[in-house]
Amino acid sequence: MIVDLKDTTTSKISKELLRIRQSGGVVALSRVLTLVVITRAGFEEDAIAAANLASREHPCRILVVVEGRRTGPTKLNAQIRVGGDAGASEVIVMHLSGPGNVADESMIAALLLPDAPIVAWWPHGVPKSPSTTPLGRIAHRRITDSAAEADPRKALFRIAAHHAPGDTDLAWTRLTLWRGQLASVFDQLDPAEVTAVTVTGAPDSPSTVLLAAWLTLCLDQPVTIASAPDGSGLRSVRFTRADGDVELSRPPGEVAELYQPGQAVQRISLPQRAVADCLAEEMRRLDPDEVFGEVMREGLKHTNLRSIRPSER
């Protein structure tokens, strides 16, 4: 069910939502949190689709704040989606326009679930300091996606400069499977025997930089980042040793290969993760991600961002 409300207020939206639920046409589910999505006009449908998929694991109320032009008349147009049009959630899309409409607590207060955690997500347009934005201040978790920015690496370091407990970035979440596989590799390595570490990835991949920063902290030695073609994401991690290199490599596709001296090549499922999967993972935890915080505060400082041409590797 979809209900459109033109030139409305949050009070009217709340009353209409209550009327829809009382009509008995929608099955009431227990909502575990409020997901606030802050995006721009033209990007909202992709964000809603990802949030709906994530809501299958975390039934929630989704508030989508679409920031429009700050010129012209002040107006709030809204759309309520429930039932089959909203997955396991209630979706309220609010299109803001004009100088009088500001995305802050007063704008969404009447629509927040009582006594439920708040998660804020910026799928596009990473703010300079998420924790100090009007909506970031009231959120328990703040999720950004530096990979969606025009300059992902620049966005990542900007986020790091203003990192606060509760912040996270989907570039880090995309590394969960990689970090799990590399942790098992660590069990078979003597760090003292590793003479060099090289992470190969695309220059437009903030996940490549984050993995290098994480390895820098884990191994307490510099990690070199080698370049791969733009758009190819994270490609490989190589540990150089006198007794032979150990390398985890993912060619184009979803299967990675682990090379170890004296052993047959191991093929490992390592797919690129969808936004919905990453979002669902971040919605599982409401406490600060301390490892991510340490990587942002300390690991990035020591990461060697020297790029190497593919022909030099």
- Beta strands, E only, the chain: 2-5, 33-40, 60-67, 75-81, 89-97, 118-122, 141-144, 167-169, 194-201, 224-227, 234-241, 246-249, 255-259, 266-269
Distance from C-alpha of 94 to C-alpha of 197, rounded to nearest angstrom: 47
215-266 pLDDT per residue, tens? 999 988 888 998 887 777 899 999 999 989 999 999 888 899 999 998 999 9
Q: What is the pLDDT of residue 313?
A: 40
- Of the candidates 148, 144, 187, 186, the residue with the CA atom closest to the CA atom of residue 296: 144
Distance from C-alpha of 77 to C-alpha of 118, rounded to nearest angstrom: 23
Binned at pLDDT 50, 70 and 90, residue 305 comes out as low
Q: What is the pLDDT of residue 304?
A: 62
- Contacts of residue 274, defined as CB under 8 A and 6 or more positions apart, other chains included, come to 50, 53
Domain ranges in the chain are: 2-170, 176-312
73-124 pLDDT per residue, tens? 888 999 999 876 656 678 999 999 887 677 888 889 999 988 899 999 999 8
254-284 pLDDT per residue, tens? 899 999 998 999 999 999 999 999 999 999 9
Q: What is the pLDDT of residue 229?
A: 79
Radius of gyration of the chain (CA): 22
Q: What is the pLDDT of residue 102?
A: 77
Q: What is the pLDDT of residue 311?
A: 35
Strand partners, 79: 4, 93
Helices 290-297, 206-219: axis angle to 10 degrees equals 90
Q: What is the pLDDT of residue 297?
A: 93
pTM of model > 0.85: yes
Distance from C-alpha of 121 to C-alpha of 309, rounded to nearest angstrom: 35
User: Strand, helix or coil at 285?
Assistant: coil
